[in-house]
Amino acid sequence: MNLSELTLDREGLAAAIACEDAAFNEALSEEAYRVKVATIGPEVYLRGLIEISNICVKNCLYCGIRRDIRCPRYELSEEEVLATAKIAAGRHFGSVVIQGGERTDPAFIRKITRLIKAIKAIEPSTEGEPPLGITLSLGEQSREVYEEWFDAGAHRYLLRIESSNPDLYRKIHPDDSLHSYDRRIKALYDLKEIGYQAGTGAMIGLPFQSAEDMADDLMFYKEFDAPMIGMGPYNPHPQTPLTLAGAPYPSEKRRFALGLKMIALLRLLMPDINIASATSLEVLDPRGRELGILSGANVIMPNMTPEDKMVNYNLYDRKTLLRDSHSSLVEELESKKIAIGYGQWGDSRHFRKCPDPF
């Protein structure tokens, strides 16, 4: 396939996804990077990732911290989260992401509300810098809870659709009301209506997933008009039902290539949104996130979870072997002449362009 033959409709996207020609993939990445720089500039924004807890009420069939997996569970204290957020502020990251397993108990919800307010109150380390921006990634919650957290000061929320195909969604989740595709969609629209920058995304290279499914994921992002997307390769975890069932999935090399390709295609489809270069790329290739940036992504989330806890946030195989060295990541980017947007929220241009919902 030739880049000039690419069309950004379902069929064209599926053909590009299925194409395994290395020259095509490379040309696609280069074009996406060019479009990114021309549309939103060369900067990469950092979000300090704080994995607050690996306790989860859900049982997704692919996830290494699902409810039924026996593993040491942890929850960071408010002091630990605040101390980590202060490190992020000191490094001028501009934003933090608070991510964790899904929990809906009132104690947890109130704790998050207090933390959002406390993080917002951290003095910026340089005059003129805004207070830290806060992205939440804490799963499905009631509309009231989303409102409470928004009012406390969070302004972005990541809730992956995991797969936009309801049949595939059903195959990778238990069949019960806690894991309902419709509820997930409703949560995404709640977030958007409340005024969050509502990000979503899906896993790439799942068992049972076709090129058309992946093309539909891209079309879903466009249809939802997502201001930010975080998507990454599926990496099996040895103890999950999905792995143990033995369903085939693409090779490591192929999943990595697909991960980069989905970023590149999305950049062409939605030139001014924020696209994260996912940690799951880095597990498959030591330069994974850098190559994600060179394929059109513009956000990186360095993991700032304290190391003794990070080892238990084991979503998939080898994730915990990653040790995020902020300085080596920055060095890597700077050696490629990729500028980092320090001290800014790095909001999606796309969102700012949208009409004010209020």
Residues in the site for ligand 5AD, rule: CB under 6 A? 62-63, 160, 162, 203, 234-235, 237, 280, 315-316
Q: What residue 102 binds from ligand SF4, ligand 5AD, none (CB within 5 to 8 A, per partner kind)? A: ligand SF4
Position among 14, 16, 44, 65 found at the interface with ligand SF4 (CB under 6 A): 65
Q: Which is nearer to ligand SF4, 36 or 103 (CB)?
A: 103
Residue 283 near ligand SF4 by CB under 6 A: no
CB-based contacts of 153: which residues, under 8 Å, 6+ apart?
116, 117, 119, 120, 134
Q: In whole angstroms, how close is the CB of 327 to ligand 5AD at the nearest point?
A: 26
Q: In whole angstroms, how close is the CB of 179 to ligand SF4 at the nearest point?
A: 8
Residue 184 near ligand SF4 by CB under 6 A: no
Q: In whole angstroms, how close is the CB of 62 to ligand 5AD at the nearest point?
A: 4
Q: Is residue 98 within 8 Å of residue 136, measured between CB atoms?
A: yes
Q: Which is nearer to ligand 5AD, 65 or 338 (CB)?
A: 65
Residue 75 near ligand SF4 by CB under 6 A: no
Q: In whole angstroms, how close is the CB of 291 to ligand SF4 at the nearest point?
A: 25
Q: How far is CA 193 from CA 85, 92, 150, 275, in A?
A: 28, 30, 11, 21
Residue 63 near ligand SF4 by CB under 6 A: yes
Residue 102 near ligand SF4 by CB under 6 A: yes
What totals of helices (H) and strands (E) does the chain contain, helices first?
A: 15, 9
State the amino acid at position 247 in one-letter form. A
Q: Which is nearer to ligand SF4, 136 or 257 (CB)?
A: 136
Q: In whole angstroms, how close is the CB of 203 to ligand 5AD at the nearest point?
A: 5
Burial level of 327, CB count in 10 A (0-12/13-18/19+)? exposed
Q: Which is nearer to ligand 5AD, 33 or 62 (CB)?
A: 62
Structure tokens, 235: 């990496």
CB-based contacts of 9: which residues, under 8 Å, 6+ apart?
none
Position with the least CB separation from ligand 5AD: 316
Task: Identify which of 36, 7, 64 has the alpha carbon closest to the alpha carbon of residue 314.
Answer: 64
User: What's the CA dihedral at 143, 148, 153, 154 to 10 degrees?
Assistant: -40
Q: Which is nearer to ligand 5AD, 153 or 207 (CB)?
A: 207
Q: Which is nearer to ligand 5AD, 156 or 237 (CB)?
A: 237
Structure tokens, 95: 């934003």
Q: In whole angstroms, how close is the CB of 138 to ligand SF4 at the nearest point?
A: 9
- Rounded CA separation 268/259 (Å): 15
- Rounded CA separation 312/191 (Å): 29
Q: In whole angstroms, how close is the CB of 59 to ligand SF4 at the nearest point?
A: 6
**Residue written as token pair 């980069």:** 260
Q: In whole angstroms, how close is the CB of 331 to ligand SF4 at the nearest point?
A: 31
Q: For 152, phi and psi rounded to 5 degrees? A: -75, -20
Q: Which is nearer to ligand SF4, 162 or 282 (CB)?
A: 162
Residue 139 near ligand SF4 by CB under 6 A: yes
Structure tokens, 232: 């990454």
Structure tokens, 263: 């970023």
**Residue written as token pair 């709640």:** 190
Chain residues binding ligand SF4 by CB under 6 A are 56, 58, 60, 63, 65-66, 101-102, 139
